Structure 1
Amino acid sequence: MLRLDRLLAPETPDGATRRLTLRYAERCKSRLRVELDDGTEAGLFLPRGTVLRSGDRLAAEDAAVVVEIRAATEELYEVRATHDAVDPHFDLLRGTYHLGNRHVPVQLAPGRLRLERDTVLRELLLRLRLDVRHVEAPFEPEAGAYGGGHRHDHDTTGGMLGESLSREAHAATPDFASMRFQPLGR
């Protein structure tokens, strides 16, 4: 069995000769027995918290084999504002807020959202007067403000924009314990 244990840097010279197509739930696992698209048996042995994205490349333990990851087509919901919405941007933003409040992985695109099928979430979105349709497409949800576990150790920020921004903000944060606050006027 082929052992895939290293995520390659994007600037690594191209050498991907094999492909591995996985659903989103499978791309979130750090230990997984898989079958490459060509039928070769392999195992993923990645750092805990790794989330693979379509286009990522993995190297086998001996670096002789490089495998490119592809996002599989999945059954999803595609959510849009209804055609008669007074403020379609607000309606979609409101739906996004409620999904985020439930920590639901969401793929964002202009004018639409995609999420994994869940009848309870579908009902919620319908009650918010959004259009919910069944689609089949690859699922690439947002990684989240803190990177969603996906990191490239060669990135200066560790692949996590949110963490970088948070570090910068905390470095400039005053000592609130020593501050005196004045009540707001009416």
Structure 2
Amino acid sequence: MAVTLTQRLTAYAGGAIQQTLSLTAEERTRSRHRFDMPDGQVVFLQLPRGTVLQNGDVLQSDDGQRVQIISKAEPVLTVQAETPLALLQAAYHLGNRHVPLEITSAYLRLSPDPVLRDLLQHRGLQITEEMQPFQPEMGAYGHSH
């Protein structure tokens, strides 16, 4: 059986969630896609073009089924610095390269890339390879690259 999710609930007030759908950061940028669930069910997304899903979003089908989006752990580089200025400078250089980037006051997170890893190491930053949920910034106009 398949479920087609057509709307994101902007003011989710509770109620039954039938299942969760774990998606990577890249998968959360797809507004039209087919996903195969571990239980064999098929989920289709038919959302407005340009929709970018976030961890915790609740989607609903026309018949009222609800699915919650969960950020799936994926390979990432987590970057830390000894000073806030060094972390800001790294964010600046990565931003100039239009790299999807998760920004916090304690770390930056990006998809693995050997060239960017070398750049960051050259700047004296600490880089850890991890499997973590990736929440890149949406961008100034509310969409991702």
* Structure 1 residue 37, shift from structure 2 partner: 4.7
- Whose radius of gyration is greater, 1 or 2? 1
Q: Tell me, yes or no, if structure 1 residue 116 matches structure 2 residue 111.
A: yes
Q: Tell me how far apart the structure 1 counterparts of residues 55 and 40 of structure 2 sit (CA, whole Å).
A: 19
Q: Tell me, yes or no, if structure 1 residue 128 matches structure 2 residue 123.
A: yes
Q: Tell me how far apart the structure 2 counterparts of residues 12 and 147 of structure 1 sit (CA, whole Å).
A: 24
Match of 1:73 in 2: 73
Q: Tell me how far apart the structure 1 counterparts of residues 41 and 55 of structure 2 sit (CA, whole Å).
A: 19
Which structure 2 residues correspond to residues 1-186 of structure 1 after superposition, within 5 A?
Answer: 1-63=2-64, 65-82=65-82, 88-148=83-143
Match of 1:169 in 2: none
Count of matched residue positions in the alignment of Structure 1 and Structure 2: 143
SS at match of 1:94: helix
Q: Tell me how far apart the structure 1 counterparts of residues 71 and 38 of structure 2 sit (CA, whole Å).
A: 12
Q: 1:56 to 1:37 in 2, by over 3 A?
A: farther
Amino acid at match of 2:108: L
Amino acid at match of 1:131: Q
SS at match of 2:27: helix
Runs of 5+ consecutive residues of structure 2 not aligned to the other structure: none
Higher RCO by CA contacts (8 Å cutoff, separation 6 or greater): 2
The structure in which a higher percent of residues are helix is 1
Task: Give the root-mean-square deviation of aligned CA atoms.
Answer: 1.5
For residues 126-185 of structure 1, give each alpha carbon's deviation from its aligned partner in whole angstroms, at most 9, with x where no partner exists: 122211110111111111222126xxxxxxxxxxxxxxxxxxxxxxxxxxxxxxxxxxxx
**TM value normalised by structure 2:** 0.91
**TM value normalised by structure 1:** 0.72
Aligned residues: percent identity? Answer: 40
For residues 72-98 of structure 1, give each alpha carbon's deviation from its aligned partner in whole angstroms, at most 9, with x where no partner exists: 00010000115xxxxx11111110001
